[in-house]
Amino acid sequence: MDVKIEESWKRRLAGEFEKEYFQRLTEFVREAYRQGTVYPPGHLIFSAFDHCPFDKVKVVILGQDPYHEPGQAHGLCFSVREGIPFPPSLHNIFKEIADDCRKPIPHSGDLTRWADQGVLLLNATLTVRAHQAGSHQNKGWETFTDAVIHQLAASRSHIVYILWGAYAQRKGNFIDTTRNLVLQSAHPSPLSAYRGFFGNKHFSKANDYLIASGQTPIEW
């Protein structure tokens, strides 16, 4: 199957694209886009990979679902397009960066600037029906994104994995912590941010680890 995804990922994931689950998933997603409004726009489904080639990944941040309201999702977890108001979780992420790294809260919620530096902003599920959170869960995306993490874990080391909330932590529970840095805390959503997200200092810890392993830190 010819999947339009960045070339290094295409090579790494070629086996997944031929599996039955992925073919069923592709049929489901195509039909969903035909029948109604689905986010992100089809050409942006694999944006996280297109901006962050396999060998350039320094940090992985795991999200769950794309945003499901108009104009928000563009293929990077927690990120919104230029000019879109910050969703609550993203606002809390910027608050923590401001406190941790002494940086002002930015004007734009578009995190492409992180992706281009080597931050893989990966949702577990890469599409969603408009206004219906979780509507494309358990259709095959989770199997695919598990394969992505397994590829990284098997072939790369000295990556920072940032796992916020129980869902992300379950998804990354096999990562070798002797070869990588795994940072875990509560999710940045307003429901849980005060139960351990604020004050986690994940952004400075990630950069300290990258510097210690001879890599360029991320400009958060």
Tens-binned pLDDT, residue by residue, of the chain (220 aa): 789 999 999 999 999 999 999 999 999 999 999 999 999 999 999 999 999 999 999 999 999 999 999 999 999 999 999 999 999 999 999 999 999 999 999 999 999 999 999 999 999 999 999 999 999 999 999 999 999 999 999 999 999 999 999 999 999 999 999 999 999 999 999 999 999 999 999 999 999 999 999 999 999 9
Peptide bond connecting 40 to the previous residue in cis, omega within 30 degrees of 0: yes
Dihedral pair phi/psi, residue 38, rounded to 5° = -130, 145
Helix (H) or strand (E) holding 10: helix 7-12
Give the whole-angstrom CA distance, residue 154 versus residue 58: 15
pLDDT at residue 1, rounded to an integer: 78
Beta strands in the chain (DSSP E): 38-39, 59-63, 119-123, 128-129, 160-164, 181-185
**What is the C-alpha separation between 149 and 180, in angstroms, rounded?**
12
**Which of the residues are catalytic?**
65
| Rounded distance between C-alpha atoms, residue 171 and residue 183, angstroms | 13
Write down the pLDDT at residue 169. Answer: 97
Contacts of 24 (CB under 8 A, 6+ apart): 139, 140
Q: What is the pLDDT of residue 2?
A: 84
* Model-wide pTM > 0.85: yes
